[in-house]
């Protein structure tokens, strides 16, 4: 049966394969490229424009045939860069298509490709985990998350070998003091403190727990339980203590309590231990209060895990 989108995908793939892209390509941001035609003169990147059309066509079909063609296009792009039929003056050839797939949220192809190639995202930047969620290597309240970012991150963590604790670099290659894990856990645990409840962050927190993202980072990647977390003017505390601080903000229903405790169990399975109650604590709420004021359904489980 004739499929116009599949035909278009073949046309765009052949077009890219046969074209010599003379102008150097400049990577101005994650998955965003421009042609560098003169000093301080940047234009729309023709190669990216064609690649985007190919991705759109493949996603409209969402079939194995279209994904195989898109996979072939990925190999063609790498070959073109290696033969200098297209050139990058910034960025990396192996990141050209994967970054665009993430930024355009082509989840169908990613779900098909990533389990087949566990190293597909290995050549991307150290801040990849954050870029999967948002278009910047930082997480803030005002910065919008990608609609399917959590779904893509869950998929990537399950199928790839990522580096959640790799120290980030900025666009100039300068090392920053934070890692994707420290940035993410700091933001996710900052939605509740006393009477303050930040709805957007709270919703992100529960969605990340439901998707198993934090558990994957803890159990599969061995994320640092003791990385220091800073919330505005509060005293710094470890990632595990920051998670414990949320206990009084957990809604009083079985689903939320069970989810919170399940991830608490994953913290413990990853090596977290009960903070010493005799030593001064960096958090403002005494940690001993947690074990006295946990909901009744929580108390049973804490006894089971040795508390």
What is the percent of the chain where pLDDT is above 90? Answer: 57
Q: What does the pLDDT read at residue 197?
A: 58
Whether 49 shows a pLDDT value over 70: the answer reads yes
**63: which DSSP letter?**
S
Question: Which pLDDT band, with edges at 50, 70 and 90, does 288 fall under?
Answer: very low
Note the helical H segments in 83-212.
Answer: 96-103, 107-113, 128-133, 149-159, 180-188, 199-210
Under 8 Å between Cβ of 22 and 73: no
Average pLDDT over residues 256-260: 96
Mean pLDDT over each residue of the chain, to the nearest integer = 83
Q: What is the pTM for the complete model shown? A: 0.83
Q: What does the pLDDT read at residue 159?
A: 96
Question: Which pLDDT band, with edges at 50, 70 and 90, does 2 fall under?
Answer: confident
End-to-end CA distance of the chain: 63
26 beta partners: 34
Average pLDDT over residues 219-234: 85
3-state secondary structure of 289: helix
d(CA 182, CA 185): 5
């Amino acid at each position: 049966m004739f499929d116009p989108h599949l035909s278009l995908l073949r046309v765009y793939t052949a077009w890219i394969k046969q074209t010599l892209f003379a102008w150097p390509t400049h990577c101005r941001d994650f998955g965003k490229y421009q042609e560098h035609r003169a000093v301080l003169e940047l234009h729309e990147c023709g190669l990216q424009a064609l690649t985007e059309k190919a991705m759109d066509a493949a996603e409209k079909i969402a079939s194995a045939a279209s994904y195989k063609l898109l996979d072939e296009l990925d190999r063609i792009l790498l070959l073109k860069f290696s033969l200098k039929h297209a050139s990058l003056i910034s960025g990396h050839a192996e990141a050209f298509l994967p970054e665009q797939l993430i930024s355009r949220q082509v989840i169908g192809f990613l779900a098909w490709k990533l389990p087949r190639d566990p190293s597909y995202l290995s050549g991307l930047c150290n801040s990849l985990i954050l870029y999967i969620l948002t278009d910047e290597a930082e997480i803030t309240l005002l910065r919008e998350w990608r609609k399917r970012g959590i779904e893509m991150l869950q998929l990537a963590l399950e199928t790839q070998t990522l580096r959640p604790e790799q120290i980030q670099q900025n666009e100039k290659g300068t090392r920053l003091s934070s890692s994707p894990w420290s940035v993410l856990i700091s933001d996710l645990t900052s939605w509740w403190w006393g009477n303050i409840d930040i709805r957007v962050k709270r919703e992100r927190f529960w969605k990340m727990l439901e998707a198993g993202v934090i558990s994957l980072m803890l159990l599969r990647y061995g994320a640092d339980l003791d990385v220091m977390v800073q919330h505005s003017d509060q005293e710094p505390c470890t990632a595990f203590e920051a998670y414990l601080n949320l206990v009084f903000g957990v809604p009083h229903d079985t689903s939320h309590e069970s989810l919170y405790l399940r991830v608490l169990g994953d913290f413990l399975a990853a090596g977290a231990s009960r903070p010493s109650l005799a030593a001064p604590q960096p958090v403002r709420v005494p940690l001993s209060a947690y074990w006295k004021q946990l909901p009744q359904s929580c108390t049973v489980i804490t006894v089971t895990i040795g508390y």
